[in-house]
Structure 1
Amino acid sequence: MTIIYLCRHCGQKIGSIQQQVIDSSILGFDQLSVKDKEEMITYKPNGDMHIQVICENCEEALGHHPHYHELDFFLQ
């Protein structure tokens, strides 16, 4: 199983973890609400997990332009 972290805004691959068995509490998934898990975690047919997070560049852009939080997508 591979856990792949992707930016929810630009789609950039941020990193990945390849592990056969992993404790989700080590990754902090147990701290997420059910709604957050549904929005952030996608399970792929091959067993991979895609986790939607925010990369440093998009986080910086949101910091400089707070009104971008109102938009579903701020990159064109």
Structure 2
Amino acid sequence: MAITYNCRHCGNIIGKIDEPVVDSSMLGLDHLTSKEKEEMVHYNENGDVSIQAICEDCEEALDNHPHYHELDYFLQ
């Protein structure tokens, strides 16, 4: 099973964990609300998991330009 972290803004791969068994509490998923899990965690048919997060570059862009939070997409 692979767990891939992707930036929800630019789509870049932030990181990947390729382990046969991973405890969701080790990943911090137990701290998410049901709505956050629904929005951020996606289970693929092959058993892999995709987690939507924010990469450092996009986080910096949002910090420097707070009005970007109002936009659906801020990357051109």
Distance 2:7 2:29 in 1: 17
**Given the alignment of the two structures, is residue 67 of structure 1 paired with residue 67 of structure 2, yes or no?**
yes
Cα deviation per residue 1:22-63 (whole Å; 9 max; x = unaligned)? Answer: 110111100000000000001111111000000000001001
| TM-score of the aligned structures, taking structure 1 as reference length | 0.97
Work out the CA distance in 1 between the residues paired with 2:72 and 2:19: 32
Q: State the distance in 1 between where 2:30 and 2:5 align.
A: 17
4+ runs of 1 displaced by more than 6 Å? none
Residue of structure 2 equivalent to 1:9: 9
Match of 2:46 in 1: 46
Letter in 1 for 2:60: E
5+ long unaligned stretches in structure 2 = none
TM-score by length of 2: 0.97
Normalized per residue, the structure richer in helix is 1
Query: Match for residue 28 of structure 1?
Result: 28
Q: Secondary structure at the match of 1:9?
A: coil
How many residues in Structure 1 have an aligned counterpart in Structure 2? 76
CA RMSD of aligned residues (A): 0.6
Unaligned runs of 5+ in 1: none
CA distance in 2, matches of 1:6, 1:16: 9
